Amino acid sequence: MRQGSIPGAHGRVRPLTLLGDPVLHTPCTEVTDFGPELSRLVEDLFATMYAAQGVGLAANQVGVPLRVFVFDCPDDEDVRHLGHVVNPRLVEADGVVMRGPEGCLSLPGLEAGTERHDHAVVEGVTTTGDPITIHGTGFFARCLQHECDHLEGTVYADRVRGLRHRRLMRQVSRASWRR
């Protein structure tokens, strides 16, 4: 029998913030209130991420400019990583730089080859204020870097250059969610 509840089971699905909304390009503020509102936000982030079939979701992607993200993401060995981080800091991004397909729930249906390190370390705290350190490799490292970027006001499209960037922006301009 499973102990505890499934993340997001008690959350509500919130509308996603889409590319073009200023909250996605503004650095998020530190969390200072570790009360029930924060726990509700994390539950809502999980519920929203699962409803949208994502592997990670930052608070500003639901319009809340706080430094919080959730994840349920495999690494390259198909090991599942599940959790949340409050006030995360990307303390290490190293190893080989890999260009791989990257998408985002705030740019639904689109993806572009984006360069990321294949190893990342994030430090932060839980909703109860307990310190945590998360190590990621491969696809999970990409997820950690992607979500930390969101909290700094950066979306993956900002990291894409040249022809790939122009192609992605053409796709954005034609996307049904932009109309």
Which residues are the active-site residues? 147
- Maximum separation of any 2 CA atoms in the chain, in Å: 52
Environment class of residue 85 by beta-carbon count within 10 Å: exposed (0-12), middle (13-18) or buried (19+)?
A: buried
> Could you tell me which of 155, 167, 93, 158 has the C-alpha nearest to residue 123?
93
Q: How many CA atoms lie within 13 A of 102 on its CB side?
A: 28
Q: Which string of DSSP letters, residue by residue, matches 58-126?
A: EGGGGT--BSEEEEEEE-TT--EEEEEEEEEEEEEEEEEEEEEEEE-TTSTT-EEEEEEEEEEEEEEE-
Give, for 136, the enclosing helix (H) or strand (E): strand 131-137
CB atoms within 10 A of CB 20: 12
